[in-house]
Structure formats: structure tokens, C-alpha cells
Amino acid sequence: MTALLAFDTASERMTIALSDGRRRWSRQAAGGAKASVGLVPALLGLLGEAGLALRDLDAIAFGRGPGAFTGLRTACSVAQGLALGAGKPVLPIDSLLAVAEDARAGASPCRIWAVVDARMDQIYAAEYAFAAGHWTTLVAPMLTDAEPLIARWRDAPPQAVAGDALLAFGARLETGAAHRVADARVNGEALLTLAESAWHEGAALDPARALPLYVRDKVASTTRERDEARAALAQVR
């Protein structure tokens, strides 16, 4: 049986989960900047509740993004520090894939676009396919505006679209006849399912390779850029 600790802090909600191969535990709390303070105590508390120590784990899984810069740096540094201290490998998990796994709800085969609100009127998006018990990345995680994504979907209609960008963008994010799962999120069950698959597929890495997946090349727009973006958005609404 495989014992895994998993967590994701890429969004405003922090998710932590633990499995000893028979039982599962999970918790959620405020993420974002607050995760840098609360993540380690939450992880140690969950281990204590389960009666496990870091040395009992086989690997430590973490959401590598894309997502908020502070959250990604927190997840990577904590995964690396805990894994190095315990002599354990790490399992990087795409945060968007966790959204797709939550939306899958046991269905197979399926193709799912995961779309997450990236703020600044942009979207983190990726497409994944699930078949024969395995996920494949069809379109790698990217940062995009709504219009290019909609144009892509007109040329290649999606089967399903999942994630909170559906709520954030509403009717602006046209998905055609695709099945919409607006409430799909990163959760403990999805994280552990992906971590177990990654473990069995031999995807464990040395802790030094616990790196974030950045798709945005700057933390924030300048004031002028934000003003221009709001003006342009006002013209199309």
C-alpha cells in the first residue's frame, strides 16, 4: 500500500490530502498568500490526525500550477523542504489536471478542457483526455484571453469544459454544446487519485526538481495596462 501526502495552493483555496493506502483524509482552507503561513501546520496536523509521520510516506505530491505566483512558490518550497528532510521523492501534479479529474466523475473515455480564472481578465486553460485509466495532455497549460480560446473551440468543439472560469466569465465564455462543469475544483480526492497514478507510473522525482509551472511572465499589469484593459472590456459589454 502506498502512503501519499498531497497539497495544492495554486488558487485562493488551499487543499491538502493524505492517504495511507486504505484510508483518505482531506482538508481545505484559505489559500493564496495565507498558504505560506498555514500550509505546513495544516500538513503536520493532518499527519498527526492519521497517526503518520513524514518518514511513513512513500512520496509527497504537490500542485505545480499554473496559478497564483505566491501559492506556487509556497507549494514547491514546502514540497521540496519536506521531501528533502524525510528523504522522499516528489510527485508534481498539474493543477488544471486536478480540475479535470474532479469534473470527470468516473467517466471514461472523455476529453475535458480545464479553465480557471487567472484574474486580469485572463484564463488558465488546458485540454486533457482520459482513456484506459490514464490521462493524456492534448493542449498544454497556457494563459489566454477568452476570445482566442473561443475561436479555438469553434474550430475544434470541446466535449466538456470545467472550472471556475465558467463562472467568472459567464456568457462571455461560449462553449457551444460542450458539457459544462462550473463547480469543478481542485480537491483532495482528485489530488490523491492523480498522485497515486503518477506514483504507479514511475513519475516520482528528486525533490530538487520540485518546480512550479509558470505560464504568466509577470506578476501584475501596470496601471496603464489595467486601465486600457478595463476600457477595452467596457466597449464590448
H or E segment and range at residue 40: helix 35-50
Quickly count: other Cβ atoms within 10 Å of residue 53's Cβ: 11
Residues 8, 86, single domain; the answer is yes
CA distance 197 to 203: 9
Average model confidence (pLDDT) across the chain:
91
Residues 146, 162, single domain; the answer is yes
Name the nearest CA neighbour of 168 among 148, 151, 182.
182
Pairing of strands 179-181, 160-162: parallel
Which pLDDT score is estimated for 33?
Answer: 73
CA distance 74 to 64: 10
CA distance 90 to 218: 27
Residue 218 in any domain: the answer is no
Residues 84, 124, single domain; the answer is no
Residue 230 in any domain: the answer is no
Question: Which CATH number characterizes residue 114's domain?
Answer: 3.30.420.40
Alpha helices in 51-178 (DSSP H): 69-86, 95-104, 146-155, 165-169
Look up residue 201 and give its amino acid.
Answer: E
Residues 71, 9, single domain; the answer is yes
What percent of the chain has a predicted confidence (pLDDT) above 90? Answer: 84
2-46: per-residue pLDDT in tens? 999 999 999 989 999 999 999 999 999 987 777 888 999 999 999
**DSSP string across 120-135:** TT-EEEEEEEEETTEE
Quickly count: other Cβ atoms within 10 Å of residue 194's Cβ: 23
Residues 53, 162, single domain; the answer is no
Residues sharing a CB contact under 8 Å with residue 178, sequence separation 6 or more, in sequence order: 113, 153, 157, 158, 159, 160, 161
Question: Is pLDDT of 229 > 90?
Answer: no
Residues sharing a CB contact under 8 Å with residue 126, sequence separation 6 or more, in sequence order: 94, 96, 97, 100, 113, 114, 137, 139, 140, 141, 142
Residue 237 in any domain: the answer is no
130-184: per-residue pLDDT in tens? 999 999 999 999 999 999 999 999 999 999 999 999 999 999 999 999 999 999 9
CB 50 within 8 A of CB 74: no
Instruction: Report CA torsion sign: 144, 127, 199, 184.
Output: positive
Question: Is pLDDT of 211 > 60?
Answer: yes
Residues 108, 80, single domain; the answer is no
Question: Is pLDDT of 66 > 60?
Answer: yes
Question: Is pLDDT of 223 > 60?
Answer: no
Residues 40, 70, single domain; the answer is yes
Residue 154 in any domain: the answer is yes
Residues 103, 177, single domain; the answer is yes
Residues 90, 100, single domain; the answer is no
**78: three-class secondary structure by DSSP:** helix
Residues 120, 170, single domain; the answer is yes
Instruction: Note down the domain range covering 64.
Output: 4-94+186-209
The whole-model pTM stands at 0.89
CA distance 96 to 165: 12
Which pLDDT score is estimated for 132?
Answer: 93
Residues 121, 156, single domain; the answer is yes
Residues 175, 103, single domain; the answer is yes
